[in-house]
Chains A and B, each alone.
Chain A
Amino acid sequence: MTEPLLRVDGLVAYYGQLQALRGVSFDVGAGEALAVIGENGAGKTTLFHAICGLHDAAVGDVVFDGEPLRGTGAHDIVRRGIALVPEGRRIFPSLTVDENLRVAEDQHRRSRSSGARRWTRDRVYELFPDLRAAARRGGHQISGGQQQMLAIGRALLSEPRLLLFDEVSLGLSPAVVKLLYQALAAIRAEGMTLVFVEQDVRRSMAFSDHLICLQKGTVRLAGPSQARSLDEVRRAYFG
């Protein structure tokens, strides 16, 4: 049995006095897609931040490719191969679309320089032709859908092996969402491991191999996506 690419082990995290994660554990195997389901406030974003190093976990650890991440700074975790597409996209407003991509690309020039880059700006523009047209525009001047594409492109340029995606379709039109999932499928086809949050429960079950349902900071339901019925998941979601 192969080691999981990502192992989350008993994560406990606080926001001030508020306990956001109460001991979350799960595994993700290489090449798999895990859907994280849960309503607002369940702890999904905190979970992602804790994995990426943006938030310190009080207890527990994250093991990535056999190496524990505890105590590693966020910028170093990126270099190890985890990238986050953050909730709200978080595009740099004073940089152009192209510069947003270059920021990620620049940092990666200096790490893991062995072998050719899998992702380049050109490849990102191929994946998202809309972005190529907008390359010179300010990061804040593009639409929500384009921002999401840009956020994905940025994450890819860090050459991750694990892609965390917080809120794929939130606030976006169905046409754009379809495009995004097509892109995600293409990314997955190259072997990317994916952990994602998707409000549309049906879609998240369809696109993932496994799912976990978070409620008030604990895992209420976990298992292969095919084996669970929609009802079961909805019940777990609403507690």
Chain B
Amino acid sequence: MQLFETLLNGLLLGGLYGLIGLGLSINFGTMRVVHLAHGDLIVLSAYFLVAVLVPAGIPPLAAAALVVPVLFGVGWALQRFVVGKSLGRGVLPPLIVTFGISMVLQNVLLLVATADARTLQSPLASAGVRLGSITVATVRLVDFAVGLACLGGLLLLLGRTALGRALRATSDDRDTARLMGIDPRRMYAVAAAIAAATGGVAGVLFSVTSTFYPSTGSELLLVAFEVVVVGGLGSLTGTFVGGILLAMAQLVGARLFGPSYQLVTGHVVVLLVLLFRPQGLLPRVAP
């Protein structure tokens, strides 16, 4: 039963991990860019919520809702004015540019918000729900529900709307998309904005359960990376499931070996995936 409780918590935590990985996956899927500042955008949204909106007296739910469009705008602007200009010349320029953005973001946060630990004080953080003989943290349920809802929303957007079709076409074949009348730069800006917005949601959820510092961005980038490696590059659903698998592995490791082994277990799983199944654990959905 204990194992079941661990796995269930892993499933739920996986909603947050999956959400963290989705942004990286969207950027890569559309533009082949590994966005090294993605983790920092998540932390930025957490700081925005905890250090700006909440102290300003805005009620938490409204504040959380406000973070998402702001991050959408930040992601759009970064793509349009900075990252977008580094595309088309190989692997190095976007890496250097997103890495530079990461460094600037982290250190500006350090200067402005100091290195103090932050978290969102909320009664939600310690509440629990009893399901039969096991207890599940309420925040975990929220993480999963929100993560799943975001995945669902994204799949609907991509699968059923004109914008979604245009995004998929652009990521399939940029030049032929141009022949359809699509402006790839606009598509990339929208994709980056959506990715940043998912980061905004992740940041809000993250701030409730964890303490964070300006440097947490790098840790979150590595989480996103591990999620994508485990889940494979095939699809958004694959990434989300990758998050669940990683979270489960981590929590099982923590249960078996102790809480300080949580991260290490995750790393070991990732190494094993790289060794034995580098394309990821899930089959590719699209060709």
Contacts and interface: CB of A to CB of B under 8 A. Distances in A.
B112 interface: no
Query: Would you list the 7 A-B pairs with minimal beta carbon distance, nearest first?
Result: A107-B181, A106-B162, A74-B178, A90-B176, A78-B181, A94-B286, A92-B172
Nearest to A110: B181
B173 A73 contact: no
B56 interface: no
Interface string B153-180: 0000000001001101101110111111
B181 A108 contact: yes
Interface in B92-142: none
B176 A94 contact: no
Interface residues of A, number: 30
Contacts, number: 75
B219 interface: no
A140 B176 CA distance: 15
Contact of A103 (B169, B175, B184, B287): B169
Interface string B176-216: 11111111100000000000000000000000000000000
A108 B178 CA distance: 12
B8 to A, nearest CB: 34
B287 A94 contact: yes
Contacts of A86: 176, 179
Contacts of A78: 178-181
B115 to A, nearest CB: 44
A193 B208 CA distance: 62
B160 to A, nearest CB: 10
B179 A83 contact: yes
Interface in B42-79: none
Given A78-B181, A94-B168, A54 B175 contact: yes
Contacts of B181: 75, 78-79, 104, 107-108, 111, 158
Contacts of B184: 75
A84 interface: yes
A75 B287 contact: no
Contacts of B175: 54, 74, 90
Given A79-B181, A86-B179, 13 more contacts: A53-B178, A73-B178, A75-B183, A86-B176, A90-B176, A94-B168, A95-B172, A99-B165, A103-B177, A106-B165, A106-B166, A107-B180, A158-B181
Contacts of A111: 181
Contacts of A52: 179
22 contacts: A53-B178, A75-B178, A75-B180, A75-B182, A75-B183, A78-B180, A83-B179, A84-B179, A92-B169, A92-B172, A92-B176, A93-B287, A95-B169, A99-B165, A103-B165, A103-B166, A103-B169, A103-B180, A104-B180, A106-B166, A108-B181, A158-B180
